Structure 1
C-alpha cells in the first residue's frame, strides 16, 4: 500500500512541477493581455478660455472620457476600443456631457474608435478592418490608449489626433504616485499651419478646414507592469490663422480618478504576480515536497533484500 500511495505522490509531484514550469514560462505572458471587458470613465478638471470656452478669461471646465471595449469587433489578438470625450464649462448643475446645439456649456465633444494589439498595446495597421471605413483614422500608428505591458525607460511613439501622426513620449523619471511606482513621460506636439477642425463639409483635410497653430503637452505617469495611466495633466492651445484663439486649456486628472487608477493598478499587478510568480514558485515547492514524500514511501514499501523466498531457502539448507 505504501508503494501505491508513494507512486501517486510521485505522479502528482511531477505534474505540479510541469504545471509550475508552464505557468512560469507561459502563464504571465498569457495574462499580460488587454482584456475585452474594459469599460472605464476618466475625469480631468482645469480651466479653459477662448472662443470654444465662450470666455476670454479662464473658466472652470471638466473633461469626461469614457473608454469601452467592443468584444464583438475584437479578436484573440486585437481589441477594439470606442472612446467618447466631452469638455463642459462648470456652471451650476452641469452634466458630464450634452449636445452642443442645446447646451452652451459644451466646449468640445470628441469620438473615436481604434483597434489595438492586445499584447503590445500598439494600434494595428488595418484599422478599417476592425472599426469600419467610416470610423477608421488614416495612417494611425504608435500608442493611443495605454503603454505596453512591462513599459521600459525609453521613448515611445505616441499618436496625436489633431496632427494625425505620432509624436515622441519622452521618458523623464521614476515617480511614486499614490504608493504606485510610475514612469513619467512628457509628450509635446506643435504645428504652425495645421487643420484644427473640419469646415462645413465635416471632413478634415479639405479646403474649407479651419487652420492655424496648435500646441499641446502631456505629462503621463505610467505604471510599468501593466502600462496603465495613473495620473496625467495636459495643456492645449489652438489659434486660427486669422488670430482667433479657439481654446487655451489646462487640465489634470481628478484626485478620485488618480486614486481609482492606483487601486486598479495594484490589483492587476497582484494578479500578474500570482500567475507569473507565486503559482510557479508554489508549484515547484509543492511538487518537490510531493516527490520526496512519494520516493520515501516507495523506498519504505520495498521488501528487504531476498524477501520471504530467501528465508525459506535458508531454512531448507539448514535442515539438510
Structure 2
C-alpha cells in the first residue's frame, strides 16, 4: 500500500512578506530624492556658517601687504646748503608698506613695516631713501579685526592712538574718526564730509586740520631764527596741517584717495612767529597711478567680503531651501507611488 505523498511533504508556511500595497508594505525613497534632500539640507546649514564663521575670518587686515603710495604737489622747503627756503618746488612723499608675515603669524596681529620719504626734485633723482630730504621708518602693529593699535611686537612709535592711520576700520559709519598723525604724534579728529567716487569706487570722505602745534626742538645757529647774537640755540619746531582729506572705501576701510597740506617751521625760543619754513606742502595728493591702484585693491577686497558675507550665504540659503523642498516632495511622492503598487 503506497503512502500518501502529502503526508511525506511538509506544508510550506505562508509568506510573511506583505504584498505591494498591503498594510505594512516597505516604502522606499529613490536615491535621487535622498540626494536632492541631502544637498538642500547641506546648503541650508552652510548659509549661516558663511555668515557667522567664514565672514569674521575673512574680515581681517591682511598681513602679506606690499603697497607703495605716492603724494605729489607743489610747495617749498629749506635748502640747508644754501641756507634759504626754495619756493614753488615739486614735493614728493613716498610711503612703502610691507607686511611682516612671520611676525604677524606669531603674534596674531597685523605687523606692518612703513618707510616714508619726503623728496625734493634734487633728492628724488637720487633714488636713495638715505639721501632723501626726510626719511622715517616705523613698525605698526594693529588688531586685525578692529584696526585698533596694539602695543607689542616692537612697534614704533611706542605710543600711538586713534581709529585710522594706514587704513580705516571695516564697515565705516558716517561719523567722525580719529586719524593718527605721525608728525604731530597725536590723533586728529576727522569729520565725515560726504561721499565721493574714485575710479568707479564709492568712498566716504573725511576731513580735518591741525592747528600750529609745537612738536619738538632742534639745535640751529641763532642767526637762522633771528638771534644773530647767539651761537647755537634750541629752536622750536612747529607743525600744522591746514587740510587733511582722506577717502576710504566703507566696506574695507582701505584709503583710496588722500590729500594733505603739511607745514613744518622753526621759531626762536618763546617766539610767536615762524622764522624758517622747513617744509610746506600745498595740497599734496595721491598721484593718479596711486588712486587707480588703491581703488582696484579696495574693489577686489570689497568683492571678496560681499561674496562670503552676502552673495554666497543668500545663494546657499535660496538654493538649499528649494532643493530641500524638491527633495521632500520626491521622497513623499516616491513612497506614495510605491504604496499604490
Q: What TM bracket, shorter-length normalisation?
A: 0.7 to 0.9
Residue number in structure 2 paired with 1:121: 147
Structure 2: gaps (5+ residues): 1-27, 221-232, 269-274
Contact 1:23-1:280 within 8 A present in 2 as well = yes
Contact 1:162-1:196 within 8 A present in 2 as well = no
Match of 2:236 among 202, 211, 218: 211
Structure 1: gaps (5+ residues): 101-105, 200-207, 309-320
Q: Does 1:60 align with 2:85?
A: no
Residue number in structure 2 paired with 1:288: 321
Contact 1:87-1:97 within 8 A present in 2 as well = no
Distance in 1 (CA, whole Å) between partners of 2:260 and 2:331 is 68
Contact 1:159-1:166 within 8 A present in 2 as well = yes
Tell me the TM-score normalised to structure 2 length: 0.77
Tell me the TM-score normalised to structure 1 length: 0.82
Alignment of 1:81-100 (within 5 A): 81-91=112-122, 94-100=125-131
Note closer, same or farther for the CA distance 1:48–1:108 as it changes in structure 2 (3 Å cut).
Answer: farther
Superposed CA deviations along residues 191-221 of structure 1, whole A, max 9, x for unmatched, are 443216699xxxxxxxx97523210132101
Shift in Å, 1:175 = 1.4
Distance in 1 (CA, whole Å) between partners of 2:53 and 2:212 is 45
Note closer, same or farther for the CA distance 1:196–1:145 as it changes in structure 2 (3 Å cut).
Answer: farther
Match of 2:101 among 67, 71, 75: 71
Q: SS at the partner of 1:281?
A: helix
Note closer, same or farther for the CA distance 1:22–1:51 as it changes in structure 2 (3 Å cut).
Answer: same
Residue number in structure 1 paired with 2:304: 271
Alignment of 1:21-170 (within 5 A): 21-51=48-78, 55-75=85-105, 77-91=108-122, 94-100=125-131, 106-124=132-150, 126=151, 129-131=152-154, 136-142=156-162, 143-170=164-191
Contact 2:206-2:245 within 8 A present in 1 as well = yes
Distance in 2 (CA, whole Å) between partners of 1:296 and 1:97 is 72
Shift in Å, 1:287 = 0.8
Contact 2:170-2:252 within 8 A present in 1 as well = yes
Q: SS at the partner of 2:170?
A: coil
Distance in 2 (CA, whole Å) between partners of 1:139 and 1:93 is 31
Give the length in aligned residue pairs: 289
Q: CA RMSD in A?
A: 2.5
Note closer, same or farther for the CA distance 1:58–1:263 as it changes in structure 2 (3 Å cut).
Answer: same
Q: SS at the partner of 2:161?
A: coil
Q: SS at the partner of 1:99?
A: helix
Contact 1:36-1:70 within 8 A present in 2 as well = yes
Distance in 1 (CA, whole Å) between partners of 2:320 and 2:254 is 35
Shift in Å, 1:304 = 5.5
Note closer, same or farther for the CA distance 1:10–1:113 as it changes in structure 2 (3 Å cut).
Answer: same
Is the radius of gyration larger for structure 1 or structure 2?
2
Contact 1:52-1:108 within 8 A present in 2 as well = no
Shift in Å, 1:146 = 0.6
Distance in 2 (CA, whole Å) between partners of 1:95 and 1:255 is 23
Superposed CA deviations along residues 69-97 of structure 1, whole A, max 9, x for unmatched, are 11111147410110001122225982544
Contact 1:211-1:240 within 8 A present in 2 as well = yes
